[in-house]
Amino acid sequence: MANTNESYSGKINRKLRKKQRIVRVAAGLEPADLVLKHATYVNVFSNELCTADIAVAEGLIVGMGTYEGRLTYDMHGKIVLPGLIDAHIHLESSLVSPREFARAVLPHGTTTVITDPHEIANVMGTDGIDYMLQATEGLPVDVRFMLPSCVPATPLDESGAVLDYRAIDSFYEHPRVNGLAEMMNYPGVIAADSMVLEKIVAAQAHHKKIDGHAPGIRDKDLAAYVAAGVYSDHECYDMEDALAKLRLGQYIMIREGTAAKNLDALLPLLTPQYYERCMFCCDDRHPNDILEEGHIDHIVRRAIAAGVDPIIAVKVASHNAARYYQLNNRGAISPGYLADFCVVDSLEHFQVEMVFKKGKLWYGDDYCRDMPWPQIDPYLLERARDTFHVRKLEVDDFRDKRQRGIIGLVDGEILTTDQGYATKVDVEQDILKVAVVERHKGTGHIGLGYLQGYGLQDGAVATSISHDSHNIIAVGTNSADMAVAVNRVVENRGGIVVVRGGVILAEVVLEVAGILTEQPVEQLNEALEHAKEVAYSLGINPGIDPFMTLSFLALPVIPTLRITTRGVVDVNTQQYV
């Protein structure tokens, strides 16, 4: 690392010497640091496969032709691609530290991700943003940030912080911040709410991108949303929705994650007519899905298997996101671009065999480089482990004889239905008690309601992963087990707990802000999969994910009914029922 006290002229001279070497290597006057010999590579500019030696110096691609280098790899029989890019993800959804996330996705060819840290920001405020910036510094997967636009998601939430534009404005100066993250409060945008629009105005004043989140809006409402300056959307669920937005100039992020899967519905976008306005993203991706299926490579593989032109699929997975986010030295194999390579066996099978980051081999050839340990401020480490302020709860805290709304689950979806009202648990009718416990500021608020479609026959489940405010959500057949489950989550400083008859049957500890762990991803995944097995053994509906389904029940921006710390709310009217 350069001396921070280095003079301006010193920096210029150092960069000049580096540039001179790049030019000499490109001209064939000096050997390259790395040469990928006989490489067949995807040319994203001419939309064809080309074959040449790819020369690398100082972490950059310097030329394609015939080159010699200090280190060479023979690429015969392989295809070299630009490193893959996830255009929108919440790293927290992986449940592991950013270091472990990078260790999991790098072998799948991902070299850059665009993250929105609004999960941890809802718990820790700007300290959460600082934590994630520090926890991602120096990783071989470049982590770029979009600043949280909705903390909390709506005024109905009780989160750990409230961030207006002033709170986040200074972060725009950080070199890895690219803009304002998904503007979920689309009703506020359409209504020209000043507190919402000032965040967009501030982002534009810094010449940054603004991403969107507006499922199903149409006509003049959509025109108002786009006119406000929202440039993309990752919530498109069918072609009608996607084309309405694309025709007004928005970029479409085709999402295929753990909770929401939109690739099949949006495959017709991956044609010459539309693909240049498309990117791939995961949004939320659980560790088992990454370890078993992959990351962006999984989406590309599925798209190609469905008949998409492989070069189009590769461009959507790399070049298009780089152009959209103005990452001008990524997403292509060409002189002057970063030497970020994803090497696959073929475009047909798309199995990642090697991954290079800035010209260094990180994965493949019977080798996997150790992941660096980012340095995090001790204050932030301590702060992240002290985010629960909840008294010990008793059985009576979950007892209630009043009429409450019933939230109906839909298999395979995060949308819900309005199933009327109930006054008590009825296991035979699959009507369970559901609660959200405020955990940030010790308010003592506990929202109660009922849930149908979850299928639990006995016991309770509780989790501190509760979008976006990340209070504690619990569902159960009885109040006693619900109290045990919630108290155990607090004792663990976060995570997932499955209880029956007062006995803890399974748990997943998430000690960082109640939503992450520093455990290795494999260890976390083992605990999570065991907890799922136990949950399903208690009768939980096999058509849903027992924990991710719960985590979205508290997000009051997705129709129809949700539950917050104050009770069941109708999202469409923003009124409690």
Residues 277-317: pLDDT tens digits?
Answer: 999 999 999 999 999 999 999 999 999 999 999 999 999 99
Which of these three, 315, 334, 365, is where a domain ends?
365
Taking alpha carbons only, the member of 394, 393, 419 closest to residue 405 is 419
Model confidence at 522, pLDDT cuts 50, 70, 90, reads very high
CA of residue 393 relative to chain centroid, distance: 32
Structural tokens at position 166: 């002033």
One domain, residues 394 and 346: no
Of 365, 399, 417, which residue is a domain's last? 365
What integer pLDDT is reported at residue 415 of this predicted model? Answer: 85
The share of the chain scoring above pLDDT 70, in percent, equals: 99
Residue 5 has pLDDT above 80, yes or no: no
Judge whether residue 400 has pLDDT over 90: no
Quote the longest CA-to-CA distance of the chain.
83
Is 321 part of a structural domain of the chain?
Answer: yes
- Mark whether 285 and 417 lie in a shared domain: no
CATH of the domain at 141: 3.20.20.140
Same domain, 321 and 405: no
Omega cis (within 30) before 148? no
Share of the chain above pLDDT 90, in %: 91
Does residue 18 lie in a domain region?
A: no
User: Does residue 282 sit in the same domain as residue 331?
Assistant: yes
**What gap in Å lies between CA 316 and CA 322, rounded to an integer?**
10
CB-facing half-sphere around the CA of 345: CA atoms within 13 A:
9
Distances (CA, A) of 548 to 259, 311, 411, 412, 495: 7, 34, 12, 11, 12
In a domain? residue 63: no
d(CA 90, CA 258): 12
Q: Would residue 569 count as lying in a domain?
A: yes
For 100, half-sphere exposure in the C-beta direction (CA atoms, 13 angstrom radius) is: 20
Place of tokens 């208690």: 538
- Is the bond leading into 211 cis (omega within 30 degrees of zero)? no
Question: Is pLDDT of 545 > 60?
Answer: yes
Q: Is there a single domain that holds both residue 231 and residue 279?
A: yes
Neighbour order of strands in the sheet with 460-463: 416-422, 404-409, 446-452, 431-437, 472-476, 460-463, 495-500, 503-509
Query: Could you report the per-residue pLDDT of 149-208, keeping only the tens digit for each?
Result: 999 988 889 999 999 999 999 999 999 999 999 999 998 999 999 999 999 999 999 999
407 contacts 413 by C-beta, under 8 angstroms: no
Give me the pLDDT at residue 4, please.
54
Residues 394 and 262 reside in one and the same domain: no
> Average pLDDT of 455-472?
97
What is the C-alpha to C-alpha distance for residues 208 and 216, in angstroms, rounded to an integer?
A: 25
- pLDDT at position 2: 43
Q: Does 458 share its domain with 309?
A: no
Position 558 scores a pLDDT of: 84
269 and 406 fall within a common domain = no
**DSSP tag of 370:** P
Q: How far apart are CA 61 and CA 81, in angstroms?
A: 13
pTM of structure: 0.95
Cite the DSSP H helix spans in 141-210.
Answer: 165-168, 186-190, 194-205
Whether 1 maps to a domain, the answer reads no
- pLDDT at 406 > cutoff 70: yes
Q: Is the pLDDT of residue 252 over 60?
A: yes
* 356 and 406 belong to one structural domain: no
Helix extents (H) in 325-451: 378-384
Is 69 contained in some domain? no
Quick check: 1 pLDDT over 80? no
Question: How many domains does the chain fold into?
Answer: 2
**Residue 453 belongs to domain spanning:** 388-576
Cβ distance 416 to 408 under 8 Å?
yes
* Assigned domain for 504 exists: yes
- Identify the domain boundary among 303, 330, 365: 365
Do 423 and 349 belong together in one domain?
no
Q: Establish if 254 belongs to a structural domain.
A: yes
**CA 502 remoteness from chain centre:** 35
Report residue 535 as tokens: 């949950």
- The H or E element that residue 480 is part of is helix 479-491
Are residues 206 and 284 both part of a single domain? yes
Amino acid making up residue 166 = R
For 372, the 3-state DSSP assignment is coil
What sign does the dihedral 158-160-166-171 (CA atoms) show?
negative
Question: 229 and 148 in one domain?
Answer: yes
